[in-house]
Amino acid sequence: MRLLKKFIKILVLVAAGALLLLLLVGQFAPRRYLGTVSVTLPVPVAEVYNWLTDVDDTPNRRRQVTRIEYDSVNDKGFPVWREYREEKYSTFEVLEMEKNKRFTIQTRTSNFGLHGLWAYVLKQQGDGATTVEITEESHTTSLINNVIFTLIGRKYTLKQELRLLEDFAEGFSGN
């Protein structure tokens, strides 16, 4: 019995130490992130642009998004919408829309703990393919999210965007 109590005490101390270490990592890791990735897709630029700007289809491509609600339009006349993820939400607004060339969105409000700006630059290639460059400028607003993004990698959202684009290209039939 004594040995079991000693083992439990050591286990609790190790767990408390690990938790403290995680909190320190979150406290001192950078909260701001700036990164860029790109991918070339065998899809015409107009199709890629239409897919990127189709906010209504977001719940079909991102399983964590349960619904979209349009909120308003911003001072440029671009849409503002809220994405719901169970009890979490983020409100986004479009900052730039240049047909077949650029699409930029930013977070207005969020209880998710991540705010940012994502710029998509599209370039039509000579063979009909499209290169998409995505730049993310974001920051975490909570300690726990800073821990999570530090552990999984700050490039996580950019990698997720690349996967979504690649899945779209894979399913694109050209018709």
104 within domain boundaries: yes
Nearest Cα to Cα of residue 83 among 104, 62, 101, 97: 62
14 within domain boundaries: no
108 within domain boundaries: yes
Instruction: Provide the CB-side half-sphere exposure for 84 (13 A, CA).
Output: 8
Determine contact, residues 109/55, Cβ cutoff 8 Å.
Answer: no
16 within domain boundaries: no
Amino acid identity at 12: V
Residues 6 or more apart whose Cβ sits within 8 Å of residue 71? 80, 81, 82, 91
3 within domain boundaries: no
Q: Which domain holds residue 81?
A: 31-171
Number of domains in the chain: 1
CATH number at residue 115: 3.30.530.20
Amino acid identity at 55: V
What pTM was computed for the model?
A: 0.84
Q: Mind listing the pLDDT tens digit for each residue in 117-160? A: 999 999 999 999 999 999 999 998 888 888 888 888 889 899 99
- 3-state SS assignment for residue 100: coil
26 within domain boundaries: no
Q: Mind listing the pLDDT tens digit for each residue in 77-125? A: 999 999 999 888 999 999 999 999 999 999 998 887 889 999 999 999 9
pLDDT of residue 98: 97
> Quick one: which H or E segment has residue 59?
helix 58-61
5 within domain boundaries: no
88 within domain boundaries: yes
